[in-house]
Structure 1
């Protein structure tokens, strides 16, 4: 199983963001990718740099005007606000699809917005090459490989069609899923990051050819809030093609695995020809943003069950932050998946 990574993804280096009303160190740091890259090297994975597939695959999923806004956005902000200001939005256009949470922090976000995607001088290049890395993994699978892994950073599954959100700028997994529909008639995207794949839900909600499933704690009380409720099952051609499986906060490994089995069963009923996995290691019990309790062997078991679906699979890295077991969790999942798909 080949892995793909581009060092230009390390250029996005935000320092702070606002959470629960206070500025704090930003969780999505370049070191995350370095830890995962070094684990891959240590475990003998072949790591290749992606080719440049251009903007077309990105604009096929995202609003082209949103994509075109990003390349010079930081420079324009600095010219207007100066180098000491933090490039985050402070005016807000209105509401998006979703539901108002009960949690006060979620309610503030419902009426306000997300501060977790500050622009830096290296943001555009990092986000662009994160997307290219994902597309290269898709190309590998479309060319006949059983599986490929995209070490993407910044992550993507919170990015909606026309906005950044939750550390994410481009929705790499949705870009991959859409790209793969040129080869496979039916594609499934399963999100096993601890947070709702809210951006993926937004993008895919009316698609009939891509089935989306996300495992996550109840968004009425857990970030990213708003989207990911059990009754959000798709609209139009996408009716019945979205599945949100809700977990209790602190859910055990066995509970998470049982939820994964439900998602796998739904994907098999859909008749998917190929699989995309939004792979988050923040399901770990010791992750800084932990919401459930999965351990290294649990990640290995998740890999076994997903590999047993016997589908061409693109693994796209999402969350997993600087907790003590990050490398161990990645090693457990990725080496197990590699062995199971040889």
Structure 2
């Protein structure tokens, strides 16, 4: 994991007033909404005897009650009541659970993973998705480290082999470039130029157009968001949600803005999801076999020119990890 980052961890529609337990970053979390709709994220372990708060209920409008002995916690994680001691008895200060900074926008829920206060205060998102675009989302489980799932979406070399009968048709095995353009400290664009091998040598990254003449590009936003800009009105987005060291939830989303009637637009987005999931499962079959599980700069692999986006990702990931370490 990269500390001190905003991570997408779930879709907004997965959390309501009823507490929801989930594992993220190897941590047990509970999320719920208060009566006013405010989103809360706490560690899913009562400070009394470790029971899961996610099996409890929301009470008093904004508090969560432990299902075991009825202790009540406010959104900051402070225990307000120990029923066995009487409601008027002060609660010792050690009866507290961790509260995680949380943010919600664009149909996603972010959690701040780190010991430092969130900077920036709100997470960044892609700014080129049409405002009127309709989308559908699917959450797909991969038995792989989230860094490996990310790298798969930055890999333009595998297309004609893994996706030989879908998006990789055409036997375009020769990879020109690819080119990588850093547009901020946390975001880069990737330009792909694959073609049929007729004996020519591939062009180097600095020999291919940047940006692409047809507007196609892939965007990656640290720590765990990816966008495939297929066309002006069509996008595929992925959030790579780290469950633990060996499991990832891939939140796959299809956007379309060419059908403007809301209901029809949503139906079209939903209809596109089975194909997108099928393509993702072609990847999943292979990625789940990779060793070692987690990515890194020195893990015994031999990279070549077509792996440039993966190398750029690894270098930045390591830099961010090192900069977050205590001095």
* Alignment TM class, shorter chain as reference: under 0.3
TM-score (norm 2): 0.23
Higher helix share: 1
Structure number, greater radius of gyration: 2
TM-score (norm 1): 0.22
